Chains A and B, each alone.
Chain A
Amino acid sequence: MTIDERYDVAVVGAGAAGLAAASECARAGVATLLLDEQPSPGGQIYRSITTTPLADRRVLGSDYWYGEALVREFERAGAAYAPRSTVWAVTPEGGGFEAGVSSDGAARLVAVKRVILATGALERPFPIPGWTLPGVMMAGAAQILLKSSGLLPRGRIVLAGSGPLLYLLAAQLVRTDTRIERLLDTTPPARWRVAARHAFAFAVSPYLAKGLGLLREARRAARIVEHVEHLEALGDRRLSRVRYMAKGRSEEIIADLLLLHQGVVPNINLASAIGCAQRWDASQLAFIPVVDEWGASSVPGVSIAGDGAGIAGARAAEARGRLAGLHAACALGRLDPAERDRRARTSRSELARQARGRAFIDTLYRPAEPLRLPQGDTIVCRCEEITARQILDTVKLGCIGPNQMKSFLRCGMGPCQGRFCGLTVTELIAKARGVPPAEVGYYRLRFPVKPVTLGEIAALPQTEASVQAVARLAKSED
């Protein structure tokens, strides 16, 4: 794969939204580059769709295999594709943007007129005691191992948490005859009553039948414990036991692997570093970039599509990707507004269909506070090993937000750049101060949003301007 020096549009992320956005752009005659970290297209939902060794289509299910058509469409559309490529910066340059990209250990700068961010979602932090022990993984990790390498967990497997993906994984494991020791469901009991007011929309949504089917499958093979309120991973150097509390009773079981999940949240680091405005969403309990009906962010020329602009699922992500692609093609003069609107019609109705029932899911699976807000010595920041107590101590010292706090503790300053602690930190500080999370805010994120070596940056081609700048500096020191 070779990457040219300039394109009209760079799309970041080759999941549902990114593939659809890049296809729409390329079909309209826009010079499009799709950049993605993974070796093959599909994002996480359609992970390894072109390479998976799982030939038996029942294992991953028809929702997964739907992604094949999306990749085929992308391949026909004629966009350039750069796999194994990490975008670590997007900065304004000459009326457009310059994207800093690393592929296979070599960095380069690519000039583009517009950017579409399709960075997707990541699993919500699940900060329980012991969550850093080897043997504790996110449920999504197990699913990725299954999709990409045909690897199945073996031994005493415990699934814990809430949300559709946990039950999807359980069903997929059941289909491969994998025994699940226990499924610890942390959905709070009162949540069904609150969610009930959205029940009608849910009943007529695509989610209901799917949800019931997964539940039925999971029940066949796993002992499900409901109303789990407290969860701990125990072990010395490795996970060996899981302790939980349900309905006032505490129990401890032997475990080889604990797979955690309590929903997904938008991956906003790149959008945030670019300066796209965001807002706190009280129902999704996450910061979400502010976008218009085409996915355009507050920064002109930058659009955000898919779950990275708020969680709505894979089919909605595809629709939002198409809208962002059409909008970019129109802004570049490749489509007139009437044609853009005509092509957008199907995606708009698909988006409306997918939105039905979402409120029910968001309400029902809103993770319980004790599993979002840890206490005492539980690690919050995995990279710098900062505990809940240490963070709360800085609030007592007068820290009002994450950015002050991190200069005391380095919390959020490790290689993951707050992706697995940011929301926890915001909510912890908000609760301690008695103010809404919106007032506390999020980490201020800067480039590079992913680590890049100094060697790679030093090896970047020098522009005339940068050479002049250094030459002047050297002269003034003489």
Chain B
Amino acid sequence: MFARRPEAGPSNVAVTIDGQPSMARAGDSVAAAMLAAGLLACRTTPVSGAERGPFCMMGVCFDCLVTIDGNPNRQACLVAVRAGMRIERQSGPAAIPVEGEPSA
């Protein structure tokens, strides 16, 4: 659905998306990395369970909420990828991590 321009250079930042290894380009937002990996949807809504994906890409719509390194409800379009980052799609309302307990 989205393809990289050749001049964008190598995608050599290793992350995981739902546990699966994926390569992103340094400077990608998490949302851009997910779209580049072919994922149009990143969560289901807490209200009806409908699927949603990145919509505005500028921090306004909050449709691109995902769990990043165990922290839920992060705006994927505002967070840059980092090597080793764990990105997880969200299903319905996010569970609030409790301090001192390991995150899922």
Contacts and interface: CB of A to CB of B under 8 A. Distances in A.
Nearest to A56: B7
Interface string B39-50: 011000101101
B47 A384 contact: yes
A152 B2 contact: yes
Interface of A is mostly: loop
Given A37-B78, A53-B7, A141 B2 contact: no
A115 to B, nearest CB: 20
A145 interface: yes
Contact of B36 (A38, A56, A149, A257): A149
Contact of A149 (B29, B50, B53): B29
A123 B7 contact: no
B56 A149 contact: no
A53 B9 contact: yes
Interface string A298-328: 0000000000000000000000000000000
A149 B8 contact: yes
A152 B56 CA distance: 15
A153 B3 CA distance: 6
B7 A54 contact: yes
A137 interface: yes
B7 A105 contact: no
Interface stretch (A128-136, A204-212, A343-351, A433-441): A128-136
A384 B58 CA distance: 20
Nearest to A269: B60
A145 B2 contact: yes
A384 B41 CA distance: 18
Contact of B5 (A39, A54, A133, A414): A54
Interface in A129-167: 132-138, 140-141, 144-145, 148-155
Given A148-B29, A150-B8, A382-B63, A132 B58 contact: no
Residue of A141, A153, A155 with highest tally of chain B CB at under 10 A: A141
B1 interface: yes
Contacts, number: 131
Contacts of B52: 132, 134
A122 B61 CA distance: 10
Contacts of A420: 56, 60-61
Contacts of A176: 5
Nearest to A146: B5
Contacts of A419: 60-61
A415 B65 contact: yes
B80 interface: yes
Nearest to A239: B40
A1 interface: no
Contact of A416 (B25, B47, B60): B60
Nearest to A420: B61
Contacts of B65: 415
Nearest to B97: A455
B60 A151 contact: no
Given A148-B29, A385-B47, A154 B62 contact: no
A136 to B, nearest CB: 7
26 contacts: A38-B59, A48-B27, A53-B9, A54-B5, A54-B8, A55-B7, A134-B40, A136-B55, A137-B54, A137-B57, A140-B57, A144-B58, A144-B77, A148-B28, A150-B25, A151-B2, A151-B3, A151-B32, A152-B2, A153-B1, A237-B51, A382-B55, A420-B56, A420-B60, A420-B61, A451-B73
